[in-house]
Amino acid sequence: MRKICVIGVGYVGLVTGTCFSDLGNRVTALDINEERIANLRKGILPIYEPGLEEMVKRNVSAGRLSFTTDYDEALEGAEIAFIAVGTPEGVDGEADLKYVRSAAEKIAQHMKEPVIIVNKSTVPVGTGDWVSDIITSSQSKPVSFSVVSCPEFLREGSAIVDFMNPARIVLGSLDKDAAHKVADLHLSLRAPIVVTDLRTAEMIKYASNAFLATKISFINEIANICEALGADVKEVAAGMGYDPRIGRGFLDAGLGYGGSCFPKDVKALAYMATVQGKHPQLLQAVMEINKYQRKQILIKLREMLGGSLKGKTVGLLGLAFKPNTDDMREAPSVEIARAIMTEGGIVKAYDPVAMEHAAHYAPGVQMGSDAYEVATGADALVLITEWNEFKQLDLSRLKSVMKNPVMVDGRNLYDPAVMKNYGFIYRGMGRGYNGR
Ligand code: NAD
Ligand code: UGA
């Protein structure tokens, strides 16, 4: 059992704090957002994440997990303080470090005993050293501390499973004792632990996200070529994936990557490279291909609806950037909905959990209560998010309520031959002559 605190109670901070408390530690989680903390104290979570609500309640009841806005309370007796605040995109594509700066200053002002400061936020290479300088210069009297980088690799929608079963733990620090203390905290997760220097650890995070984004853009480019040549990208990805040097993961062609991380992290890495006088050509191409994938939905809709979307009703199945989350940050649905409305179309949509957030991101979209309501009277449907509940829809019923049985499958969820049999005019992403 260790006493730890987590600064920033968003997707990463809440999952990290809750999972460490579930492993038997005493965790205080702090956020500057008072409403968020007041709600958490009442058992109301700020995010949807499978299994999290139950785990929070269990650990709060057991007295292992508490929430506060008070830095003195959070840091009291804490051996380790995790920073898990947001690092959003800045004006030029750089990571904006204002929240990291304010968290570091507050820790410095309130720490009374030595503490290991572990950075979990995704931060530009060199930030660990910068945080050290901020803490040293913001302390009113010197108290010893160490900075360790411990980037987080969890995915939204499977955050608890990912946190509890990591592929690896990366720890970077000049202070090897501190790194080993943080390693001890992770021992029960039975993952390989990579101990390295601060900058290398920070780079491992960006390189990992950029590589995954590259795989996605690569398969999307292949999908576009498949579409032109009459091959099926789903089968191409399956055939490629058997080679262990390639692997099947992150080879699902579709609308491209969205979410709060890949878009901003690829941009931030390209920015870091450019500032150093390098030319990140591959990263630029990854971003360009990703943008084009969203535009393709509009191109397909226009082609299938006689050239114009004016006055046409398009139903969106799913709004979140991926299933099992209500996160709407950089969700392809937002750009697609806006573009349809700009062209004079009407957009209806249904998502199992993201509609409340989506109303803020995509004003003007009419929300429905299920897939069938959204399909009713629609000129076309677009499958945006591959939620489980869309996998086995009653296709006869869906078709029967539509004005036009047009379906653009942005995630290749359906079988082109089955859709054709049900009478849909169907197009996926890179699916050969029958399901283009
Ligand atoms: P988030 O926006 O969901 O949460 C950040 C929280 O930090 C907010 O609740 C905010 O109020 C709080 N905060 C801001 N400044 C603060 C301060 N000075 N003191 C205390 N709290 C403060 O962010 P997130 O999605 O959890 O991401 C956090 C970091 O983790 C980012 O760097 C992100 O790139 C990285 N990351 C995210 C994921 C993910 O799946 N979301 C996965 C891996 C890494
Ligand atoms: C991603 C990484 O997978 C995590 O390891 C990392 O910790 C996190 O970013 C982060 O740094 O925040 P996340 O964004 O939650 O996690 O979700 P992913 O499952 O990676 O999906 C990201 C986007 O890529 C989604 O829009 C998804 O639809 C898209 N994607 C994913 C594809 O288009 N094709 C694929 O084959 C896989």
H-only helix segments in 258-406? 262-275, 281-304, 332-342, 355-361, 371-375, 395-401
Helix, strand and coil percent figures for the chain, each rounded to 5? 45, 15, 40
Candidates 422, 402, 218; CA nearest to 314 is 402
Please indicate whether residue 357, judged by its CB atom, sits closer than 6 Å to ligand 2. no
Q: Which ligand lies nearest to the CA atom of residue 217 in the structure?
A: 2
pLDDT of residue 248: 97
Per DSSP, 402 falls in state: -
pLDDT of residue 432: 83
Number of neighbours of residue 125 by Cβ within 10 angstroms: 20
Encoding tokens for residue 229? 């040549």
Which residues in the chain show pLDDT less than 70? Answer: 433-436
Please indicate whether residue 254, judged by its CB atom, sits closer than 6 Å to ligand 2. yes
pLDDT of residue 199: 97
For the stretch 337-368, what's the b/e string if a residue is b when 16 or more beta carbons lie within 10 angstroms of its beta carbon? bbbbbebebbbbbbbbbbbebbeebbeebebb
Candidates 403, 364, 396; CA nearest to 381 is 403
For tokens 């349809």, name the residue. Answer: 340
* Catalytic residue flag (residue 19): no
pLDDT tens digits along 85-114: 999 999 999 999 999 999 999 999 999 999
Q: What angle do CA 43, 44, 48 make, to 5 degrees?
A: 120
CA 372 to chain centre: 28
CB within 8 A of 190, min separation 6: which ones? none
Determine the atom of ligand 1 nearest the C-alpha atom of 153. 43
Please indicate whether residue 84, judged by its CB atom, sits closer than 6 Å to ligand 1. yes
Determine the atom of ligand 1 nearest the C-alpha atom of 87. 32
Name the residue with the closest Cα to ligand 2, atom 37: 250
Could you tell me the CATH superfamily of domain 3-196? NAD(P)-binding Rossmann-like Domain (3.40.50.720)
Name the residue with the closest Cα to ligand 2, atom 11: 261
Name the residue with the closest Cα to ligand 1, atom 30: 121
Where in the chain are all domains bearing CATH 3.40.50.720? 3-196, 211-435
Name the residue with the closest Cα to ligand 2, atom 35: 250
Determine the atom of ligand 2 nearest the C-alpha atom of 252. 36
Pick the CATH number of 211-435 from 3.40.50.150, 1.10.510.10, 3.40.50.720, 3.40.50.300: 3.40.50.720
The alpha carbon of 164 and the centre of ligand 1 are apart by a number of angstroms equal to 19
In sign, the C-alpha dihedral spanning 403, 303, 364, 388 is positive
- The Cα 213–Cα 208 span in angstroms is 9
